[in-house]
């Protein structure tokens, strides 16, 4: 996989990484702006994900913009926010059909022109976003905040994180608070946009099927029109603060099932072993939790783990009948104890390494996978290629897994008790 391509600087605090992969059928350009997560800006940035790609001075209604993109072989242009610990990554994605399928028409050139217009010339009214567009976007955001608890699993995770990261930006809900969103106004949203353009560290990733200088030329020209300041170096790695005692909380909800989220803080320094432990314990189809808690004891349907490199936190999630909760929790913790004791079979360890290698290989089969690999590499300052990373994983031993398991400290637990569902009327 040709993933050792270096990033280079195209403006103050802006890097560009380009990759050509001939078998792809679409081109993809991602423009990442990194900014600290805060209650004041979380909602404003969410609003920007709707306001910036939906219109521009050249395409002043949502319908105009959508129609133009549709006619360009469904060129996709959208924004979203991913959270990396205490940092937000506000990412604009542009994806176009390669010229070899468009009968000579360059969708890329026209798509890049639209991107340029949205970034530099958004639709404005008296120096702010038009009030009607802004109000619709804010109503949507308030609705999304009101609906956060609809996703029981996500809600339980957010509540556990709020305890684990208390006092840190990551404790603030992903969309910010309702109060902050309600107070947001159009001028503040535009100021937040200008602040991102001028001051936020940024990275551009472009993956396309054929050599084409246009994407780099376009984004370089965009940033040349912005008075950029040189941002300070930043890191997304900011572990949770240690606690004297684990935090525990629970709530009741009208639901058929109870959700349990446990956060375990990684106090070790072996991140490769921690990532492999995550695979082994609960992130692969034949994980210990699935094999034992689900298959052997029949306690639940899903039981899985995730590892945050930013916060160095292992999260375990499951859902079960409320009456079975204590048993399920005990069965999960037993699997951790087994790992701590060093009882890791070579077969299971090898399966975890192979699963890790599969995921690394799979990223090279899609433009999105490649772009994600390249942006994560830059964000975590981890210059290893997938092959190098897999080779390093091969060196992880059962003893390193055991040490990594012993370095996990119980940090927080949130339980969302299901107390029965609603009836149909």
Partner 1 sequence: MNTERQIFRETDPLTGDTCVRILHESGLEIRVLEQPAMHTAAAEFAVRYGSVHTAFIQEGKRIQTPAGVAHYLEHKLFENEDNGVSARFAAIGASDNAYTGFDRTVCHFRTHRAFPEALAVLLEFVQHPQITQGGVEHERGIITQEIVEYYDDADDRMFFQVLEALYHACPIRTDVAGTPESIAQITAEMLLQCHSAFYNLHNMVLSCAGNVTAAEVLETADRLLIPAPPFTVQPALPPEPETVFAPYRERTMAVGRTQFSLGFKSAPASGMTQMREKLICELAADLLTGACSPFYEQMRQSGLLPHPLSAEVLCGSEWFAVIFDGESDEPQTVADALCKECASALQNGIDPALLQDLKRAYYRDEITAMQSPEDAAAALTENWLAGCTSPFARTALLAQITPEEICDVLARRFRQDRAALSVILPDDDTDTNDEK
Residue that the structure tokens 């590499």 belong to: 377
DSSP conformation letters of 147-214 = TGGGSHHHHHHHHHHHHHTTTSGGGS-TT--HHHHHH--HHHHHHHHHHHHHHS-EEEEEEESS--SH
Which residues, numbered 389-418, are part of the site for partner 1 (CB under 8 A)?
418
Q: Does residue 286 touch partner 1 according to CB under 8 A?
A: yes
CB count within 10 Å of CB 168 equals 17
Indicate which single residue of 2, 60, 74, 394 sits in contact with partner 1 (rule: CB under 8 A).
74
Closer Cβ to partner 1, 225 or 295, answer by number: 295
Radius of gyration of the chain (CA): 23
Smallest distance from the beta carbon of 13 to partner 1, in angstroms? Answer: 33
Smallest distance from the beta carbon of 390 to partner 1, in angstroms? Answer: 10
Strand arrangement, sheet containing 87-97: 8-11, 14-20, 202-208, 26-36, 87-97, 76-84
Nearest to 269 by CA among 312, 235, 311: 312
Which residues, numbered 128-147, are part of the site for partner 1 (CB under 8 A)?
132, 136, 139-140, 143, 146-147
Angle at CA 25, nearest 5°, toward 20 and 31?
60
Which residues, numbered 238-277, are part of the site for partner 1 (CB under 8 A)?
249-257
Closer Cβ to partner 1, 228 or 291, answer by number: 291
Closer Cβ to partner 1, 22 or 242, answer by number: 22
Indicate which single residue of 81, 170, 222, 319 sits in contact with partner 1 (rule: CB under 8 A).
319
Indicate which single residue of 224, 326, 330, 419 sits in contact with partner 1 (rule: CB under 8 A).
419
Closer Cβ to partner 1, 14 or 300, answer by number: 300
Window contacting partner 1 (CB under 8 A); options: 5-13, 123-131, 287-295, 392-400 = 287-295
* Tokens found for residue 419: 């107390």
Nearest to 22 by CA among 384, 358, 357, 370: 370
Per-residue string for binding with partner 1, 289-318, x by CB under 8 A?
-xx--xx--xxxxx----------------
Q: Does residue 234 touch partner 1 according to CB under 8 A?
A: no
Closer Cβ to partner 1, 144 or 216, answer by number: 144
Per-residue string for binding with partner 1, 8-27, x by CB under 8 A?
--------------xxxxx-
Closer Cβ to partner 1, 135 or 392, answer by number: 135
Closer Cβ to partner 1, 109 or 351, answer by number: 351
Which residues, numbered 144-183, are part of the site for partner 1 (CB under 8 A)?
146-150, 152
Smallest distance from the beta carbon of 247 to partner 1, in angstroms? Answer: 13
Q: Does residue 109 touch partner 1 according to CB under 8 A?
A: no
How far does Cα 417 stand from its chain's mean position? 27
Closer Cβ to partner 1, 351 or 378, answer by number: 351
**Taking a C-beta distance cutoff of 8 angstroms, is the pair 403, 243 a contact?**
no
By CB under 8 A, how many residues form the interface with partner 1? 72
Indicate which single residue of 2, 101, 125, 326 sits in contact with partner 1 (rule: CB under 8 A).
101
Q: Would you give the DSSP letter of residue 364?
A: G
Smallest distance from the beta carbon of 425 to partner 1, in angstroms? Answer: 6
Window contacting partner 1 (CB under 8 A); options: 35-43, 68-76, 109-117, 188-196 = 68-76
Nearest to 222 by CA among 33, 28, 6: 33
Which residues, numbered 47-66, are part of the site for partner 1 (CB under 8 A)?
61-63, 66
Which residues, numbered 326-385, are part of the site for partner 1 (CB under 8 A)?
347, 350-351, 354-355, 357-358, 361-362, 364-366
* Tokens found for residue 175: 């969309």
Smallest distance from the beta carbon of 229 to partner 1, in angstroms? Answer: 36
SS3 string of 136-162?
HHHHHHHHHHHCHHHCHHHHHHHHHHH
Smallest distance from the beta carbon of 422 to partner 1, in angstroms? Answer: 5
Strand, helix or coil at 21?
coil
Query: Exposed (0-12), middle (13-18) or buried (19+): which is 123, by Cβ within 10 Å?
Result: buried
Smallest distance from the beta carbon of 38 to partner 1, in angstroms? Answer: 23
Cα-Cα-Cα-Cα torsion 320, 322, 327, 329, nearest 10 degrees, comes to 70
Closer Cβ to partner 1, 41 or 75, answer by number: 75
- Secondary structure E strands in 364-419: 408-418
Distances in Å between the alpha carbon of 300 and those of 10, 28, 338?
Answer: 51, 39, 20
């Amino acid at each position: 996989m040709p993933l050792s391509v270096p990033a280079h600087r195209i403006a103050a605090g802006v890097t560009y990484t380009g990759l050509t992969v001939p078998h792809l059928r679409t081109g993809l350009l991602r423009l990442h702006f990194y900014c600290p997560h805060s209650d004041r800006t979380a909602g404003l940035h969410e609003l920007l994900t709707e306001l910036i790609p939906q219109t521009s001075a050249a395409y002043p209604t949502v319908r105009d913009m959508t129609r133009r993109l549709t006619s360009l072989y469904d060129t996709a242009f959208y924004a979203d926010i991913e959270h990396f610990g205490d940092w937000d990554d506000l990412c604009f994605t542009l994806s176009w059909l390669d010229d070899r399928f468009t009968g000579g028409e360059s969708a890329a050139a026209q798509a890049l022109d639209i991107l340029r217009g949205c970034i530099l010339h958004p639709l404005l009214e008296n120096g702010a976003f038009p009030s009607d567009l802004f109000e619709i976007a804010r109503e949507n955001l308030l609705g999304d905040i009101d609906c956060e608890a609809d996703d029981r699993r996500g809600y339980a995770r957010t509540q556990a994180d709020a305890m684990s990261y208390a006092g840190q930006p990551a404790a603030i809900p992903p969309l910010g608070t309702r109060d902050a969103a309600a107070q947001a106004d159009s001028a503040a949203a535009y100021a937040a946009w200008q602040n991102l353009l001028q001051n936020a560290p940024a990275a551009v990733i472009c993956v396309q099927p054929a050599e084409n200088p246009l994407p780099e030329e376009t984004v370089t020209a965009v940033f040349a029109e912005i008075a950029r300041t040189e941002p300070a170096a930043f890191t997304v790695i900011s572990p949770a603060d240690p606690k004297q005692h684990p935090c525990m909380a629970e709530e009741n909800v009208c639901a058929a099932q109870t959700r349990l989220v446990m956060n375990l803080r990684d106090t070790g320094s072996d991140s490769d072993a921690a990532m492999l432990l995550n695979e082994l314990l609960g992130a692969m189809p034949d994980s210990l939790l699935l094999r034992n808690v689900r298959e052997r004891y029949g306690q639940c349907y899903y039981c899985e783990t995730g590892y945050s490199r930013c916060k160095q936190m292992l999260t375990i999630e499951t859902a079960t009948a409320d009456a079975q909760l204590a048993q399920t929790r005990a069965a999960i913790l037993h699997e951790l104890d087994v790992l701590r004791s060093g009882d890791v079979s070579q077969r299971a360890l090898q399966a975890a390494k192979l699963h890790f290698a599969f995921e690394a290989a799979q990223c090279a089969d899609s433009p999105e996978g490649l772009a994600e690999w390249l942006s994560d590499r830059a964000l975590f300052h981890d210059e290893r290629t997938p092959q190098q990373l897999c080779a390093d994983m091969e060196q992880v031993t059962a003893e390193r897994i055991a040490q990594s398991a012993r370095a996990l400290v119980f940090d927080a637990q949130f339980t969302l008790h299901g107390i029965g569902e609603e009836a149909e009327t």
